[in-house]
Amino acid sequence: MKGTVIITGGSRGLGKELVNLFLKDGWKVSTFSRHETRDVRYVEPSLLKLRADLRLEADVERVISETKKLLGQPSLLVLNAGTVSKATMVIEENIMNLRADCEVNLIANTFLLQEFLRKCSPGNVVHITSDVASSPYPGWGFYGASKRAMDYILETLRLENPGKLFLSIDPGDMDTEMHRTADPGADTGSLAKPRDAALKVYRRIMDVIR
Ligand SMILES: NC(=O)c1ccc[n+]([C@@H]2O[C@H](COP(=O)([O-])OP(=O)(O)OC[C@H]3O[C@@H](n4cnc5c(N)ncnc54)[C@H](OP(=O)(O)O)[C@@H]3O)[C@@H](O)[C@H]2O)c1
């Protein structure tokens, strides 16, 4: 058994594939999203699925406590859950979309990160970032700003906590619900399958934590 990992947003897309890969490799996996069918589902000894909203502090606290109780102390947190709106030029975009992106991708992620570091020491953290966080692209300004800000938090934590892992990984463009929301007209044939992207992300994490 490799240890316990919390992966946010395991109901679909990249998160779902990461959950499968970690489980297959012998990890205990705790995951959550807003649309799990039941409140708490303890499917098998190694997998805990919770219905929880990352934006709600009480839900985040429950995720940490249920994970510790049922799967043991997690040693790794993968911040995968994220949100985006349809790609729109900054001058035209509704400011509410920046609030929504920052609420999930930055503020909620940061609260979970704080709780994890306070309650699950020693813990390693991986943030699933995006190429637009480092290279601005027309239409992706709000989302990119929220992802870049989260990368900045990790960079700061790295300086504040030498010896601990704070890693941002860009999975590349994938054919997922998120991408279809942001860019409904995209040629999906040119996008990676989430399973292939997850394998690359998983290997990168294993290279670093081994
Ligand atoms: N798709 C791409 O091309 C691409 C490219 C670069 C980076 N990324 C990054 O990769 C990560 C995964 O993206 P994806 O494409 O797999 O997205 P996705 O298919 O839309 O999946 C997002 C996951 O996050 C969960 N989630 C969203 N808001 C949540 C909330 N408030 N509380 C709990 N769970 C929440 C969703 O579940 P519920 O809706 O049920 O809550 C779902 O499980 C994201 O961080 C994204 O920024 C994606």
Q: pLDDT digits over 114-143, tens only?
A: 999 999 987 899 999 999 999 999 999 999
Q: What is the pLDDT of residue 159?
A: 97
Give me the mean pLDDT over the 43-65 stretch: 92
Q: What is the pLDDT of residue 44?
A: 66
With 90 as the cut, is the pLDDT of residue 107 above it? Answer: yes
Average pLDDT, the chain: 94
CA–CA gap between residue 54 and residue 103 (Å, rounded): 9
Structural fold of domain 4-171: Rossmann fold (3.40.50)
Q: What is the pLDDT of residue 93?
A: 97
- For residue 131, the ligand 1 atom closest to its alpha carbon is 6
- For residue 192, the ligand 1 atom closest to its alpha carbon is 3
CA–CA gap between residue 22 and residue 53 (Å, rounded): 22
Residue 181 Cα to ligand 1 midpoint, Å, equals 11
With 80 as the cut, is the pLDDT of residue 40 above it? Answer: no
Residue 83 Cα to ligand 1 midpoint, Å, equals 6
**Closest CA to ligand 1's atom 42:** 9
Q: What is the pLDDT of residue 130?
A: 98
Residue 208 Cα to ligand 1 midpoint, Å, equals 23
Scan for tokens 């109901």, then name that residue: 11
Q: Please check whether residue 44 is in contact with residue 113, taking contact to mean a CB–CB distance below 8 angstroms.
A: no
Residue 79 Cα to ligand 1 midpoint, Å, equals 10
Q: What is the pLDDT of residue 42?
A: 59
Pocket-forming residues, ligand 1, beta carbon under 6 Å: 8-9, 11-15, 33-35, 53-55, 80-83, 104, 128, 130, 171, 173-174, 176-179, 194
Q: What is the pTM of this model?
A: 0.97
**Closest CA to ligand 1's atom 3:** 173
Q: What is the pLDDT of residue 37?
A: 63
Each domain of the chain, given as residue ranges in start order, spans 4-171
Alpha-carbon distances of 72 from 13, 17, 93, 157, rounded to whole Å = 26, 22, 44, 24
- For residue 53, the ligand 1 atom closest to its alpha carbon is 32
